[in-house]
């Protein structure tokens, strides 16, 4: 078996594709990396980076002529940009929703009144009531800030 020379490609859009093996590429978009695994009949793109899906799609097409399936490791916005260029992505069901729990009492006197999920272009709000659990479930969106409002202490950003 002969060792093949590994190739590195840099695109005008700032992608750096580094060949790790004969069939595996690491694609760095300047912030995060995604990976392309090329099989005999098909290829798997693992994550799609921050944005610039058109440029990523063009780069992937230059690396393989096999049909490409996109799979997400998770759904943070820096891993799912430009997904529309690759068809319906595969995703573990645990990644469908974002589940928030807040360590805070929920008595009639002192409770979390609402939890808000702030995405890049929308806000989802879940109203909570005393005696409920301080928890909420949101569909995943691009961008993520979680805000909570307590009837005594006001609004704050939840960091967990
Ligand atoms: Fe509070």
Q: Is the pLDDT of residue 51 over 80?
A: no
Q: How far is the CA of 155 from the centre of ligand 1 (A)?
A: 9
Q: Which of 146, 147, 148, 150 is nearest to 111 (CA)?
A: 150
148 C-alpha to center of ligand 1: Å? 9
Identify the residue with better confidence: 36 or 52.
36
- Measured in Å, residue 128 CA sits from the centre of ligand 1 at 13
CB atoms within 10 A of CB 18: 15
Distance between Cα 96 and ligand 1 center (Å): 29
* All domains of the chain in start order, with CATH: 3-93 (3.60.15.10), 97-157 (2.60.40.730)
47 neighbors 80 (Cβ within 8 angstroms): yes
Question: Ligand 1 centre from 137 Cα, in Å?
Answer: 20
Residue 2 pLDDT exceeds 60:
no
153 with 113: CB under 8 angstroms?
no
Residue-level pLDDT at 63 = 95
Name the pTM for this structure. Answer: 0.62
- Of the given ranges (12-16, 23-27, 61-65, 139-143), which has the lowest mean pLDDT? 139-143
**Ligand 1 midpoint to CA 142 (Å):** 28
Q: pLDDT tens across 68-124, in order? A: 999 998 877 788 887 788 888 898 876 778 888 899 999 999 999 999 999 888 999
Question: pLDDT tens for residues 14-41?
Answer: 899 999 999 999 999 888 899 999 999 9
């Amino acid at each position: 078996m002969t060792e093949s020379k590994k190739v590195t490609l840099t695109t005008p859009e700032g992608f750096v594709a580094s060949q790790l093996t004969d069939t595996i590429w690491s694609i760095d978009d300047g912030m995060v990396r995604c990976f392309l695994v090329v099989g005999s009949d098909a290829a798997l793109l693992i994550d799609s980076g921050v944005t610039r899906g058109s440029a990523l799609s063009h780069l992937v097409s230059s690396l393989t002529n096999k049909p490409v399936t996109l799979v997400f490791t998770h759904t943070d916005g820096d891993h799912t940009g430009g997904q529309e260029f690759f068809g319906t992505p595969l995703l573990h069901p645990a990644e469908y929703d974002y589940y928030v729990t807040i360590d805070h009492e929920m008595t009639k006197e002192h409770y979390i009144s609402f939890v808000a999920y702030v995405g890049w272009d929308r806000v989802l709000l879940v109203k909570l009531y005393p005696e409920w659990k301080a928890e909420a479930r949101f569909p995943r969106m691009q961008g993520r800030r979680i805000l909570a409002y307590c009837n005594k202490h006001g609004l704050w950003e939840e960091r967990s």
